[in-house]
Structure 1
Amino acid sequence: MKTRFEPRPSESTPLRAWTGPLTKELLQRPAEFGLGNLPTTRQPDAVTEAICGYCATGCSLKLHLKNGEAINLSADSEYPVNIGMACPKGWEALSPLEADDRATRPLIRNSSGELSPASWDEALKYFVRTFKDIGEQYGTDSLAWLSTGQIPSEEMAYLGALCKFGIGMIHGDGNTRQCMATSVAAYKESFGFDAPPYTYADFEESDVIILTGSNLCITHPIMWQRVMRNKRNPKIIVIDPRRTETAMAATQHLPLQPKSDLVLFYGIARLLIEHNWVDQAYVDANVKGYQALKQFLLEGPYDLPTVARCSGLEETDLFDLARTIGSGRRVSLWWTMGVNQSYEGTRVAQSIINIALLTGNIGKPGTGANSITGQCNAMGSRLFSNSTNLLGGHLFTNETHRIKVANTLGIPVDVIPDQNSWAYDQIIDGIEAGKIKALWVVATNGAHSWIHQNRFRKIRKKLDCLVVQDMYHTTETAEIADLVLPAAGWGEKEGTFINSERRIGRIRKVRRAPGEALADFHIFQLIAHYWGCGDLFKEWKTPEDVFKILTRLSKGQPCDISGIENYAMIEKAGGIQWPLRDIKDYARERRLFEDGKFHHADQRARLVFEAPRTMPEAPDNEYPFMLLTGRGTSSQWHTQTRTGKSAVLKKLYPQGVYLELNPSDAEKLKVKADDTVTIESRRGRITAKAYLTGSVSPGQVFLPMHYAMVNQLTHNSVDSYSRQPSYKACAVNVFSAKQNIP
Structure 2
Amino acid sequence: MSALDILKDQLRMRAFDGVLTERLVQDPAAHGLGRLPQSAKPDATVHSVCGYCATGCSLKVHLQAGRAVNLSTHSDYPVNLGMACPKGWEALTPLAASDRATTPLLRGRDGELEPVSWTAAMEAFCAGFKDIQKQHGADAVAFLSTGQIVTEEMAFLGSLAKFGMGIVHGDGNTRQCMATAATAYKQSFGYDAPPYSYQDFEESDVLIFVGANPCIAHPIMWQRVMRNQRDPEIIVIDPRKTETAMAATQHLAIQPKSDLALFYGLAAHLVSIDAVDLDFIAAHTEGYHDFVEFLADYSLETAAAATGLDYAQVSRLARLIASGKRVSFWWTMGVNQSYEGTRLAQSMINLALMTGNIGKPGTGANSITGQCNAMGSRLFSNTTGLLGGRGFECAEDRQTVADILDMPVERIPDRPSLAYNEIIDAIDAGTIKGLWLVATNTAHSWINQKRFRRVREKLDFLVVQDMYHSTESAEIADLVLPAAGWGEKEGVFINSERRIGRTRKVSQAPGQALADFHIFRLIAHHWGCAELFKEWSSPEAVFRILTRLSHGLPCDITGIDGYADLEREGGIQWPFKKTEREQPGHELKAQRRLFEDGKFYHANGRAKFIFEAPRPMPEPVNADYPFILLTGRGTSSQWHTQTRTSKSDVLRKLYPKNPYVEINPEDATALNIKPNSKVCIRSRRGEVEATAVILASVQPGQVFMPMHYRITNHLTASAFDPYSKQPSYKACAVTVHNIHS
TM-score higher than 0.5: yes
Offset of 1:392 from its aligned partner? 1.0
Offset of 1:39 from its aligned partner? 2.5
CA RMSD of aligned residues (A): 1.6
Is the 8 Å Cα contact of residues 264 and 299 (structure 2) preserved in structure 1? no
Is the 8 Å Cα contact of residues 19 and 530 (structure 1) preserved in structure 2? no
Offset of 1:429 from its aligned partner? 0.3
Q: How does 1:237-252 map to 2 (within 5 A)?
A: 237-252=235-250
Residue from 307, 315, 318 that aligns with 1:311: 307
Cα 1:733–1:594 change in 2 (3 A) is: same
Q: What SS does the aligned partner of 1:108 have? A: strand
The amino acid of 1:630's aligned partner reads G
- Whole-angstrom distance in 1 between the partners of 2:600 and 2:70: 44
* Paired-residue identity, %: 63
- How many pairs are equivalent? 725
Cα 1:716–1:24 change in 2 (3 A) is: farther
Is the 8 Å Cα contact of residues 204 and 231 (structure 1) preserved in structure 2? yes
Offset of 1:37 from its aligned partner? 9.7
1:47-81: per-residue Cα shift (whole Å, max 9, x none)?
11000000000000000110112110011000000
Cα 1:30–1:555 change in 2 (3 A) is: farther
The amino acid of 2:529's aligned partner reads C
Residue from 489, 498, 513 that aligns with 1:493: 489
Residue from 718, 728, 731 that aligns with 2:730: 728
Is the 8 Å Cα contact of residues 493 and 509 (structure 1) preserved in structure 2? yes
Residue from 714, 732, 739 that aligns with 1:712: 714
Residue from 4, 10, 13 that aligns with 1:22: 10
Offset of 1:31 from its aligned partner? 3.4
Q: Name the residue aligned to 1:452.
A: 448
Q: How does 1:176-255 map to 2 (within 5 A)?
A: 176-255=174-253
Is the 8 Å Cα contact of residues 18 and 530 (structure 1) preserved in structure 2? no
Q: Name the residue aligned to 1:559.
A: 555
Is the 8 Å Cα contact of residues 36 and 517 (structure 1) preserved in structure 2? no
Q: Name the residue aligned to 2:61.
A: 63
Is the 8 Å Cα contact of residues 162 and 168 (structure 2) preserved in structure 1? yes
Is the 8 Å Cα contact of residues 188 and 346 (structure 2) preserved in structure 1? yes
Cα 1:455–1:21 change in 2 (3 A) is: same
Q: What SS does the aligned partner of 1:63 have? A: strand
Q: What SS does the aligned partner of 2:455 have? A: helix
The amino acid of 1:294's aligned partner reads V
Cα 1:308–1:15 change in 2 (3 A) is: closer
Offset of 1:139 from its aligned partner? 0.6
Offset of 1:598 from its aligned partner? 0.1
- Whole-angstrom distance in 2 between the partners of 1:347 and 1:71: 47
Residue from 396, 399, 405 that aligns with 1:400: 396
Cα 1:264–1:15 change in 2 (3 A) is: closer
Q: What SS does the aligned partner of 1:462 have? A: coil
- Whole-angstrom distance in 1 between the partners of 2:597 and 2:342: 25
- Whole-angstrom distance in 2 between the partners of 1:334 and 1:32: 48
- Whole-angstrom distance in 1 between the partners of 2:596 and 2:170: 35
Is the 8 Å Cα contact of residues 194 and 498 (structure 2) preserved in structure 1? yes
Q: How does 1:321-336 map to 2 (within 5 A)?
A: 321-336=317-332
Is the 8 Å Cα contact of residues 261 and 302 (structure 2) preserved in structure 1? no
Is the 8 Å Cα contact of residues 15 and 24 (structure 1) preserved in structure 2? no
Is the 8 Å Cα contact of residues 396 and 419 (structure 1) preserved in structure 2? yes
Q: Name the residue aligned to 1:8.
A: none
- Whole-angstrom distance in 2 between the partners of 1:662 and 1:607: 39
- Whole-angstrom distance in 2 between the partners of 1:137 and 1:18: 29
- Whole-angstrom distance in 2 between the partners of 1:92 and 1:370: 29
Q: How does 1:557-636 map to 2 (within 5 A)?
A: 557-582=553-578, 583=581, 584=583, 586-636=588-638
Q: Name the residue aligned to 1:669.
A: 671
Cα 1:203–1:75 change in 2 (3 A) is: same
1:427 maps onto 2:423 in alignment: yes
Is the 8 Å Cα contact of residues 676 and 687 (structure 1) preserved in structure 2? yes
1:560-590: per-residue Cα shift (whole Å, max 9, x none)?
0011111000110000000000324631110
Q: Name the residue aligned to 2:18.
A: none
The amino acid of 1:218's aligned partner reads I
- Whole-angstrom distance in 1 between the partners of 2:261 and 2:9: 61
Offset of 1:34 from its aligned partner? 4.5
- Between 392-401 and 577-586, the greater mean CA deviation after superposition: 577-586
Offset of 1:93 from its aligned partner? 0.1
- Whole-angstrom distance in 2 between the partners of 1:559 and 1:437: 36
Offset of 1:316 from its aligned partner? 1.3
The amino acid of 2:261's aligned partner reads V
- Whole-angstrom distance in 2 between the partners of 1:102 and 1:37: 18
1:136 maps onto 2:134 in alignment: yes
The amino acid of 1:65's aligned partner reads L
Offset of 1:161 from its aligned partner? 0.3
Is the 8 Å Cα contact of residues 106 and 117 (structure 1) preserved in structure 2? yes
Is the 8 Å Cα contact of residues 663 and 695 (structure 2) preserved in structure 1? yes
- Whole-angstrom distance in 1 between the partners of 2:716 and 2:286: 38
The amino acid of 1:564's aligned partner reads I
The amino acid of 2:374's aligned partner reads A
Offset of 1:306 from its aligned partner? 2.1
Q: What SS does the aligned partner of 1:509 have? A: coil
- Whole-angstrom distance in 2 between the partners of 1:441 and 1:355: 39
Residue from 171, 174, 194 that aligns with 2:172: 174
Is the 8 Å Cα contact of residues 716 and 729 (structure 2) preserved in structure 1? yes
1:39 maps onto 2:40 in alignment: no
Is the 8 Å Cα contact of residues 105 and 119 (structure 1) preserved in structure 2? yes
The amino acid of 1:541's aligned partner reads S
Offset of 1:29 from its aligned partner? 3.1
The amino acid of 2:10's aligned partner reads L
Offset of 1:36 from its aligned partner? 7.1
Q: What SS does the aligned partner of 2:604 have? A: coil
Q: Name the residue aligned to 1:467.
A: 463
TM-score (normalised: structure 1): 0.96
The amino acid of 2:400's aligned partner reads K
Residue from 64, 75, 78 that aligns with 1:77: 75
Residue from 647, 655, 659 that aligns with 1:657: 659
Residue from 502, 505, 508 that aligns with 1:506: 502
Cα 1:14–1:676 change in 2 (3 A) is: closer
Structure 2: segments with no counterpart, 5+ residues: 16-20
Residue from 348, 353, 358 that aligns with 1:352: 348
Is the 8 Å Cα contact of residues 129 and 434 (structure 2) preserved in structure 1? yes
1:486-510: per-residue Cα shift (whole Å, max 9, x none)?
0000000000000000000000100
- Between 33-42 and 204-213, the greater mean CA deviation after superposition: 33-42
Q: What SS does the aligned partner of 1:176 have? A: helix
Structure 1: segments with no counterpart, 5+ residues: 1-12
- Whole-angstrom distance in 2 between the partners of 1:440 and 1:692: 42
- Whole-angstrom distance in 2 between the partners of 1:24 and 1:621: 69
